Every structure is written in C-alpha cells, then in structure tokens.
Amino acid sequence: MVKAGGYANRLAWVDLANKKVDYQELDEDVARKYLGGRGLGVKLVYDKVKPGTDPFSPDNILVIAVGPLTGTLTPMSGRICSITKSPLTGGVTDSHAGGWAGAALKWSGFDAIILQNKSDKPVYLVAKDGKVTFEDASQLWGKDLFTTTRMLRDKYGDARELTKLGSTGVQVYAIGPAGENLCREACIGHDAGRFSGRGGTGAVMGSKKVKALVIMGEEKNIPKPANPEKFEEARRTALKHITESPVTSPGKGGLSVYGTSVLVNTVNELGAFPTRNAKQVQFEFAYFISGENQRGTILRETPTCHACPVHCKRLTEVTDGKYKYKSEGVEYETCWSLGAMVGVGHIEGAGYLNYLANYYGLDTISLGVTLATACEATEKGYIPEAEGVKFGDVDKLAEFIKKIALREGIGNLFAEGGYRAAQALGDVDLSITVKKQGIPAYDPRGLRGFIIGYATSNRGACHLRGYTPASEIMGIPYKTDPLALEGKVDLTIMLQNMFAALDSLDICKFSSFAYTVEDYAALLSGMTGWDVSPEEFMKIGERVWNLERYFNQLNGFDRKDDMLPKRLVVEPPTSGPAKGWRLGWDTFNKLLDEYYEKRGWTKDGKVPEKKLRELGII
C-alpha cells in the first residue's frame, strides 16, 4: 500500500472477457521507483505481457494511468496516458493527452485502469467513486468520435458544448472507427479534442472491443499534499518560472499567444521543416499554416487544461467555403503533418484534414507521414493514379483518410501504417519512419539533436522523448548550435531521462520550458512526503528508459532498429542553413556507438544485466 500523498492508491484490473474488476492497492516500492503514468504503465506491461505477444492478442494489456502530480494543484498537471505493446512498432509505447480526463481519473479514485483480455461484444466503461462498471456500447460502435462523445455526455447529463473542456461534467476517453478497424495508427481521444496519439493505442482499445472510458470525477477530490508548506513553496516557484519564461508566460509567451504552431516559421527558416515526404526541408507556404496566420484567420478560442495558465490550445473554425469544420487544433505537429509534409499550403485545408483525423480517431503525425508515403508512391507509379493521391490535393487527401479509417480499397493497405505499406509496395525508403513510426515535424538534418533522438527512441520516431530543439532553438536548459553534432549525445541522454520521469509524474512536457529539475523534485517531494532529490528524480527517468529498452530487447529489438530513414542520412538538403550537408552512415554509427557507451549498453545496443541490477529493474 502506498501512503504517499498524490496517489489514489487504487488500481482497477478490468477483465473484459468475464466482466469482472479486481481492485488492488498500489505497492509503495513500485510507486517510489516508477512514480505513475508512463513509468507505472511500462512496469505493468513489462510484468504482464510476455515477449512475442501479438499486440492485438487478448494477452496484451492497455494501461490508462495518471501520476502522483496529475489532478493536483501543480501547474500544468492535466495529463492522462495510455501504455501498451504497440501494434505499430511491436515495442512498448505510451501516449499522453491533455485536457481534464487525467485530473478526472484521479478524482474518480484511480491511479490506473488496466484493460485485460477481450470483450465478446462492444462495451464502454464508467469510472466513478472508485468503481468501474460495464455498459453496452452496441449503439456507439461504428460512430465517429464527435458523435460518441456527444451521446455519452448526453446520457450522463452533461450539456456542455462539445468543444468546451472543463473541470466539471463528464470526461469521455474514446476511440473512433479507426480504432474499431484496428488501424495501426489509431488513437484515443479525450472529448474529441485532446489525443493520446502515438503508437496505435486506439487500435489496442478497439481490439478489446472497448469503445470508451467515461470518467466521472469530482473536483472536491483534488489530492492534498503530504507536506503542504513544502508543496506550496514549490508550486509558487513553479508558477513564477512559468510567468517569467518567454515561452510559457500567460498572454505574453509564444505558446500562449500563437499556440504550438508558433514554431512553424522558425523551424522552416532553420531548414528543418520536412516537406513533401521530407524531399525538401523548407516549405514555401509555411507562413500560411503558421500560428501567426492561424491567429488572424480561423482561431476562435484558446481553451486550457487542468491547472494550466498557459492556454496554448486552439479552437478553430471555418464557416465558409468547402472545408467547413469546427474542432480543436491545429497544433504545430498537425500544421506540419497535414500541411507541409503532404504539400498543403493553406490553413483551412490543413485544419479540415485535422478535423477528419479527429473525427475518425487517427494520430495526425503518423497519418501525415503515411499520406506523404502514399503521395510519393503515386508519383513513382507504385499506385495507379486513379487509386492514389497527390501532394497538395486536399480533396483526394480527405478521401484517402476516410479509406484508411474504414479500410476501404487502397486504404486497407495504408491502415497498416506507412512503413508496412511501403514495404508491400517494394520500396521501404518511401517511408520516413523509425521503428515503423512516422517522424514528427523536425528534420534532423537541420536540428541535429534528433539524429540520435529519433534513432534511439523506445516508442519509434518521436520529438517528445527528448526535446533537443529546446536547447537548439530556445537555449533551454543551455544553448547549443542546431547544426553541431558535438555534445548532442549527452544532451539527448539527459533529456530522455528527464522526460521519462516527467511523463511519470504525469504533467505537461511544456512545463520543461519553465521548470528546472529542482522544481520537479520539490513538487514531487511536497506532494508525496518523500524526500526526492534532483538526482533521484533523474535516476527514476533513467530506470524507466532502460526498462522500456529492455522490454523492446526481449521482443527482438537491437541496434538494427536504431536506424534513421535512408533519406535523412544520405540525401543533403537543397536549401536552408544545412544546404549540401550529408550525415552519412559512418558518422551516424559513430554517434550511435557514443550513445551506447554512455548509456552503459553493449555495442549492439542491448541493456546488460549489470545495468538492470544497478537500476533495480531486476
């Protein structure tokens, strides 16, 4: 039993096959070593999912978890995450969403809800007052995310507008048709606006015949800190750092004024904005999909998440023309993935494609990379033009999204993800992926911290495993040259460890633009009552990272999987600051050797028993 503050001390093991729930207390030793959220989820997946298990097998589990700071008065503490064995990569994955679902899950009395086995018919679950109940979802199965959310809110007496997030009311964490159809890039959406996007967690939820988790928490259940004075001091310091940061300052910082897509023009100028399937590194229409243009055209409101003063979220609407919609977004990653990556140079078109992704429940980052794969495959004649899609053609891209989500025609192939589709077409180099997961909106030829960051990410290509552009662009926690290779291995390892611990708290990654490691340790100590030093906090992150790596290792991953797409290694950019520069495989392998050595791993990228024992994993 965990006695520390911040925890509900309750896990719900949901047996979907037998419609039973086993409630367990959280072990204090596990909580101290893995915290919650990502760390706890990875530990549970490692303990319960045997090597070689098919991600769509009933033997896989899906963990929906929060951390010891989630739902507290900690600023930016509104995250919820799903952890499972990924149907996209075959390794472990965790994916987080903001909004209010995380806070509500804690307030409903849970640290984690674990889905086991498979239901014989569609169900949804209701979490309330420390209990999980089963409900028939036959009337919801086949419905889009917006309709699903509206129907469940109506049933439980929540009349808020669909796009309104808030602390009161029903929180709906659900899948769309893409998840039901086991599209490997399907996600789980909270109130159809915030998404656990990466790794195919929505497809695993669909494989278990679970349509949604309805969360009914009460704000009166906000966790009380074990050491109120220490926590309040840490909270005030954290707020001070948020208001002082040029990135997060409410009403003044870039995130608050322009949202996450404030980065579009900056990254484009750096020659690190992958365009038309990363054939180019700069997009000539970047401004028109940027946060600055979005603010002056389609932006309607800036909603926020639990306990967050930043208000980086965007509610956008198009009322005229052929691409009418109203939805949350368009975030930076989506402006890129459904903009530059597929050659769409106007915000209304990118916003409409984002709306469709939300409607069907598809991860916008992975979807954009998969669509770009299809566009280039069409260009090269691998797909007949009548079945294919062209860069910049919003209408055809919209049709292709529907085909993927419903597995219709050529969409059935691309519902397997861009890598598997390219492999089936006979040219894997069309797919700009790592471990079969699409890259995000930063080209490592122009922001070189991501050379090793993408390659070694445990969940496949990802910017949020260790966000090196914080250093390369913003000078956080220290300034490095975007085009330098020296020092990037050390920077990557430090950020990977810190972000693994941060995800286990579970609070927003954007806090790292303002908080220090000392802030995280102080907040955790004040809430739990533990005396956690900055060094212990970082060690927790290192433990989580190595456990993920070891889980993947047991499932056949090694050095061969820590590989960048060929295009990013051998093709030099034709414009921008990195014009003419070529990484090459020799340099890449030297960086990988350095990374393995500093991680204490073997030359083939395996975690040795010595390291596992040192970190207390075995």
Between residues 303 and 411, which one has the greater pLDDT? 411
The neighbouring-strand residues paired with 301 are 315
What's the pLDDT band for 163 if we cut at 50, 70, 90?
Answer: low
Mean pLDDT of 87-92: 98
**Within this chain, do residues 470 and 570 fall inside the same structural domain, yes or no?**
yes
Mean of the pLDDT values across residues 162-178? 81
Judging by beta carbons within 10 Å of its beta carbon (0-12, 13-18, 19+), is residue 233 exposed, middle or buried?
Answer: middle
Range 120-138 average pLDDT: 98
Q: Does residue 234 sit within a domain? A: no
For residue 252, tell me if it sits in a domain: no
pLDDT at 148 over 90: yes
Token digits of residue 498: 């810190």
Residue 522 has pLDDT above 80, yes or no: yes
In a domain, 3, yes or no: no
Provide the 3-class DSSP secondary structure of residue 204.
helix
pLDDT at 167 over 90: no
The answer on pLDDT for 467 being more than 70 is yes
Question: What pLDDT score does 292 carry?
Answer: 92
Of 457, 467, 432, 450, the C-alpha closest to 280 is 432
Please state, in angstroms and rounded to a whole number, the distance separating the CA atoms of residues 71 and 125: 20
Q: Given a cut of 70, is residue 573 above it in pLDDT? A: yes
Tell me which residue range forms the domain holding 90.
11-221
* Residue 552 exposed, middle or buried by CB count within 10 Å (0-12, 13-18, 19+): buried
The answer to which of 155-159, 367-371, 416-420 has the lowest mean pLDDT is 155-159
Q: Which two tokens stand for residue 544?
A: 């989580």
List the beta bridge partners of residue 136: 123
Q: Which residues pair with 171 in a beta bridge?
A: 215
Query: Do 163 and 41 fall into the same domain?
Result: yes
> Is 41 a member of any domain?
yes
Confidence tier at 229 by pLDDT (50, 70, 90): very high
Phi/psi of residue 516, nearest 5 degrees? -105, 170
Q: Using the predicted structure, report yes or no on whether residue 278 has a pLDDT greater than 80.
A: yes
For residue 316, what are the β-bridge partners? 299, 327
Burial class (CB in 10 A: 0-12, 13-18, 19+), 239: middle
Total domains in the chain come to 3
Distance of alpha carbon 278 from alpha carbon 77, whole angstroms = 35
With bands split at pLDDT 50, 70 and 90, how would you rate the model's confidence at 326? confident
Q: What is the pLDDT of residues 420-449, one digit of tens each?
A: 999 999 999 999 999 999 999 999 999 999
pTM: 0.96
pLDDT for the residue numbered 168: 62
319 within a domain of the structure (yes/no): yes
pLDDT for the residue numbered 165 = 59
Task: Average the pLDDT over each of 208-217, 245-254, 533-542, 583-592 and give the range with the smallest value.
Answer: 245-254
Tell me which of 11-15, 262-266, 372-376 is least confident: 262-266
Among 221, 245, 279, the domain boundary falls at: 221
Are 194 and 277 in the same domain? no
Q: What is the DSSP string of 499-539?
A: HHHHHHHT--GGGGGT--HHHHHHHHHHHH-----HHHHHH
410 Cβ neighbours under 8 A, 6+ residues apart: 374, 383, 387, 388, 400, 403
Question: Among the three residues 438, 468, 499, which one is the final residue of a domain in this structure?
Answer: 438
Residue 233 and residue 321: Cα distance in Å, rounded?
A: 52
Tokens 């052929």 correspond to: 322
- Is 317 or 596 the better-scoring residue by pLDDT? 596
Examine the domain organization and report whether 430 and 505 are in the same domain.
Answer: no
Let me know whether 18 and 43 are in one domain.
yes
How many whole angstroms separate alpha carbon 488 and alpha carbon 241?
A: 26
Supply the pLDDT for residue 256. Answer: 87
* CB distance 617 to 546 below 8 Å: yes
In the prediction, which pLDDT does 307 show?
87
Q: What is the CATH number of the domain that holds 149?
A: 3.60.9.10
Q: What percent of the chain has pLDDT over 90?
A: 89
Q: Is 130 within the bounds of a domain?
A: yes
CATH code assigned at 549: 1.10.599.10
Contact 253, 247 (CB under 8 A): yes
User: What pLDDT sits at residue 279?
Assistant: 98
The answer to whether residues 193 and 301 belong to one domain is no
Shared domain for 402 and 472, answered yes or no, is no
Looking at the fold, whether 67 and 32 belong to one and the same domain comes out as: yes
Shared domain for 108 and 89, answered yes or no, is: yes
Answer with the residue of higher pLDDT: 551 or 160: 551
Structure tokens belonging to residue 499: 């972000």
Same domain assignment for residues 395 and 286: yes
pLDDT at 162 exceeding the cut of 70: no
- State whether 158 and 292 are in the same domain: no
CATH number at residue 328: 1.10.569.10
Residue 443 lies in a domain: no
Beta carbons within 10 angstroms of residue 531's beta carbon: 11
Domain-located, residue 23: yes
**Average predicted confidence (pLDDT) for the chain:** 95
pLDDT given for residue 164 in this prediction:
63
Q: Could you say which of 387, 405, 438 is where a domain stops?
A: 438
pLDDT surpasses 90 at 27 = yes
Rounding to the nearest 10 degrees, give the CA dihedral for residues 312, 317, 318, 323: 90
Please give the share of the chain, as a percent, with pLDDT higher than 70.
99
Overall average pLDDT of the 537-556 stretch: 98
The pLDDT, as a whole number, for residue 408 is 98
| pLDDT band, very low/low/confident/very high, at 463 (cuts 50, 70, 90) | very high
Q: Which two tokens stand for residue 87?
A: 């149907």
CA dihedral 123, 127, 131, 135 (to 10 degrees): -20
Query: What is the signed CA dihedral for 430, 434, 438, 441, rounded to 10 degrees?
Result: -110
Task: Assess whether 119 and 98 both reside in one domain.
Answer: yes
Residues 400-404, mean pLDDT to the nearest whole number: 98
Which pLDDT score is estimated for 166?
A: 62
Name the 3-class secondary structure at 51.
Answer: coil
Neighbours of 164 (CB within 10 A): 13
Q: In what order do the strands lie in the sheet with 315-318?
A: 299-301, 315-318, 325-328
pLDDT for res 543:
98
Q: How high is the pLDDT of residue 192?
A: 79
Give how far Cα 98 sits from Cα of 70, 212, 332, 476, 501, Å.
10, 17, 15, 23, 17
Amino acid sitting at position 135: E
How many of the other CB atoms lie within 10 Å of CB of 609? 11
Distance CA 117, CA 155 (A): 27
Angle between helices 517-528 and 534-554 (to 10 degrees): 90
pLDDT at 312: 84
Classify 293 as helix, strand or coil: helix
Task: Of 20-29, 239-248, 302-311, 427-436, give the lowest mean pLDDT range.
Answer: 302-311
Residue recorded with tokens 């955790």: 524
